[in-house]
Chains A and B, each alone.
Chain A
Amino acid sequence: MTELMGAEAEMRDALRRLRADGVQRLGERVRELSAGWAALQPRRPWDDADRARLGELAASAHRLAGAGGTFGFPALSKAAAPLELLLLGLRDTPAPGGDRLRQAGAQVAAVAAAWEAGPAGAEEDGADPGQASPAEHGEPIFLFAEAEEQAMLSAVIANLGYSVRRASEREVLEGALPEGPLSAAVIDDAVPDPLAVCARLAGRCPLILLAEDSSFENRLAAARAGVEALVAKPLEVNELADWLDHFAGGRAETRYTIVIVDDDRLLAAAYAMALRQAGMQVTSVSDPAQAIEVIAATAPDLILMDLQMPGIDGIELARVIRQTRRHLSLPILFLSAEQDTERQILARRLGGDDFIPKPVDLDRLVTLVRLRAERARALRAVMESDSLTGLLNHARFKERLGLELERARRHGTTLSLVIFDLDHFKSVNDTHGHLVGDRVIRGLARSLQKRLRRTDVIGRYGGEEFAALMIGTGPEEARGIIDHLRERFAAASFETEGGSFGVTFSAGIAGNAPGGAGPEGGAEAEAMISAADAALYAAKRAGRNRVMVAPA
């Protein structure tokens, strides 16, 4: 053991020396870059030799971007990457404008500042060297359980849509840990000394303990061992699912989508790079005339817009965007070199939410965008979703129905509306209480989310009523899918202290009129809802627990 530790200490020592060399060279490169940039300024307009020099500086920036984080300077990497882009852009622009030059100058300064700020703290050091987030790559859930339990639990987790990495027999016996990234670990307390296992895994990834004993003492002991979630046995799958989604599933959804509208492609590319480094999804538009279309197609969380563009004023464009009701609460950030406060006030009044002065401090840009997008999304979620299930609420669902019908009409595609109703739900509430009733509601919401496609739209229509829009799916095909879902849901059982019980649902389906032959506008949506409702009623009358399609 001590020998092993000695070898590891030696290894870390050697690595430290290599890092020190690397760090020294980073400093030299940063100084060369700053000096090189400064020397080029009085030489404008640049000749071919100067442009070649810009190319060399860009190569330096590239190396800083590639090496900074490896040697403990992740912020230096982040600042150098857009600088490389800007320098290459300047090299290839015959007569670069003031905005580009100032942005590049600001970025050279940002690189120097990131170097001056020193290496990242021990915590940050290497914690986020790349942008890979576990969920994106579907890092597995580590399952630590004895053989008998393992097969069952592994099936449960896989069924929830996560990849599972099972602990081997040896790992269980020795409490050994797997290599590589994990998005969460599920530990069954039937393994030998489960809390010791937790303590060893703590810090690697979030820990979920399945515990026979859910007393306060045991919860406290688990918390001390680094357990973040304790699920009492017998296992309630929904509860485990909620935790897994919380730890491993949430990331992809929290990726913000940003649209940049700027006629200067180079600057837009630099802003986009900084935002992408922070894990956001970015689409750039250089022609303001196309902005509306792109915004409609990407449904962004925020718009970043240049205030001064040829042909159209940013303020005007903001007003056009605000003409669409759905975009009333969409945050718009203006980029502006303008000092004129009068105009800034005007821009705010007409729809801008904030100003970012040019040249842009990319760090600040990322922070501002994230804060604004976060708040806008939280507000929208509250406004649009049902609080119990997180599905779209009634009003929002009907709005989507109208939009999707319009789209289907334009493209000549099919879609089906399904309305679900839980059978005898009142007796579930009466017998088991509302808390159990809520669990059933969430259970159906979850199976809809899991079994339907991501592009399908799902809403909670009322108390025990749900609705789904199946895009590109005709009523007969929808019937097959929903009927399968019905069988699975009916076969599942809900556990309570008083024993287990099952719940069924009935569903009615209606398709849109083929070839856009139906009534225009809102009337088609209403007609579809009535037809699906009538089919649902027919299903109920025919004995419940079945799916019926409305006659075309």
Chain B
Amino acid sequence: MSPGGEALSRILYVEDDHDVRKVATFALKAVGGFVVEPCESGQQALEKAAGFAPQLLLLDVMMPGMDGPTTLERLRALPAIAGVPAIFMTAKVQPQEVSRYRALGTLDVISKPFDPMTLSATVRAIWAGRDD
């Protein structure tokens, strides 16, 4: 389907808000049929990442402790994760912010709040367009 060929299955998802994490994880699994590893903090993501071998990282930007961009930077320092594409999720989407995140090598930014019913389709569309 996508020009890159590889179908998306495994997503490492980092979000500190308990309820949002629950809903998004469920939606990605049930609606999108993805295999999802939810993490409640950047620290937990660092512990789980290599073992889970994700194809995509989905990161909340603003988290207490280690924020999204820092988490991404530390994840990318892991050899197994170095080339894994990432998507940020954030409640504050300002144009300059998006270009800053893009500069960090992310595929796209999904604005929060998101609709659980369409989240999977959004992720899939970004994934399909990643080689453009």
Contacts and interface: CB of A to CB of B under 8 A. Distances in A.
Interface of A: 11, 14-15, 18-19, 21-22, 25, 59, 62-63, 65-71, 74, 77, 81, 84, 126-127, 129-132, 179-181, 276
Contacts of B60: 66
A69 B115 contact: yes
Contacts of B116: 15, 19, 70, 126
21 contacts: A15-B116, A18-B26, A19-B23, A65-B113, A67-B17, A67-B20, A67-B113, A68-B113, A69-B112, A70-B23, A70-B112, A70-B114, A70-B115, A70-B116, A71-B19, A74-B113, A126-B116, A129-B114, A129-B115, A180-B125, A181-B125
A66 B124 contact: no
Given A67-B112, A130-B111, A180-B124, 19 more contacts: A15-B27, A15-B30, A18-B26, A19-B116, A22-B20, A25-B18, A65-B91, A65-B113, A66-B112, A66-B113, A69-B113, A71-B23, A126-B118, A129-B112, A129-B113, A130-B112, A131-B111, A179-B124, A276-B94
Contacts of B117: 126
A62 B92 CA distance: 9
Among A14, A65, A74, A84, the most chain B Cβ lie within 10 Å of the Cβ of A65
A25 B22 CA distance: 13
Among B24, B90, B110, B116, the most chain A Cβ lie within 10 Å of the Cβ of B116
A79 B28 CA distance: 27
B99 to A, nearest CB: 15
A70 B20 contact: yes
B46 interface: no
A63 B114 contact: no
Contact of B30 (A14, A66, A74, A84): A14
Given A69-B113, A69-B114, A180 B121 contact: yes
A66 B63 CA distance: 12
B20 A14 contact: no
B: interface residue count bin: 20 to 34
A171 to B, nearest CB: 12
A181 B121 contact: yes
Contacts of A127: 115
Nearest to B113: A69
A259 to B, nearest CB: 16
Contacts of B114: 69-70, 129-130
Nearest to B90: A66
A533 to B, nearest CB: 43
A248 B117 CA distance: 23
Contacts of A70: 20, 23-24, 112-116
B87 to A, nearest CB: 13
Contacts of A59: 64
Contact of A22 (B23, B30, B62, B124): B23
Contacts of A19: 23, 116
Nearest to B25: A18
Task: Report, nearest first, the 10 A-B pairs whose CB atoms are least far apart.
Answer: A69-B113, A126-B115, A130-B111, A22-B19, A66-B91, A66-B112, A70-B113, A129-B115, A65-B91, A180-B125
A77 B19 contact: no
Contact of B17 (A15, A66, A77, A126): A66
Contacts of B112: 65-67, 69-70, 77, 129-130
Nearest to A65: B91
A510 B116 CA distance: 57
B82 interface: no
Among A63, A84, A132, the most chain B Cβ lie within 10 Å of the Cβ of A63
Nearest to B18: A25
B31 interface: yes
A281 to B, nearest CB: 9
Contacts of A65: 91-92, 112-113
Contacts of B94: 276
A146 B62 CA distance: 48
Given A15-B116, A66-B17, A81 B111 contact: no
B80 interface: no
A281 B78 CA distance: 40
B96 to A, nearest CB: 12
Nearest to A24: B19
Contact of B23 (A18, A129, A130, A132): A18
B93 A130 contact: yes
Contacts of A81: 91-92
Nearest to B24: A70
Given A130-B114, A181-B125, A18 B93 contact: no
A132 B111 contact: yes
Contacts of A22: 19-20, 22-23
A492 to B, nearest CB: 30
Contacts of B111: 129-132
Among A65, A67, A71, A132, the most chain B Cβ lie within 10 Å of the Cβ of A67
Interface in B1-48: 17-20, 22-24, 26-27, 30-31
Nearest to B22: A18
Contacts of B93: 130-131
Interface string B93-132: 1100000000000000011111111100110110000000
A482 to B, nearest CB: 31
A14 B30 CA distance: 10
Given A77-B91, A81-B92, A130-B93, A21 B19 contact: yes
